[in-house]
Amino acid sequence: MRVREALDELLERLPEERLLEILDFAQFLSSQEERAAWRQLGQAQLGRAYGPDEPEYSPADLIR
């Protein structure tokens, strides 16, 4: 809990405009975490859909 306490102390001394910047950055970090979770889910679903027995496709197969 030491980090949270130190952060609380710092936040108490900052002006409102700086707090808004910190809020914006915290929301950015949160969205990065959410994006990573969605990416992992997508990779897992792709892994289930295409297993090790999937045939190799050539570039010609993609053009059809």
Query: What is the Cα–Cα distance from 55 to 64, expressed in whole angstroms?
Result: 16
Cβ–Cβ under 8 Å, residues 19 and 10 = no
Query: What is the Cα–Cα distance from 64 to 62, expressed in whole angstroms?
Result: 6
pLDDT confidence bin for 64, thresholds 50/70/90: low
Q: What is the value of pTM for the model shown?
A: 0.55
- Which two tokens mark 40? 């992992």
Q: What is the pLDDT of residues 8-62, one digit of tens each?
A: 999 999 999 999 999 999 999 999 999 999 999 998 888 788 777 778 888 888 8
- The alpha carbon dihedral of 59, 62, 63, 64 has a sign of positive
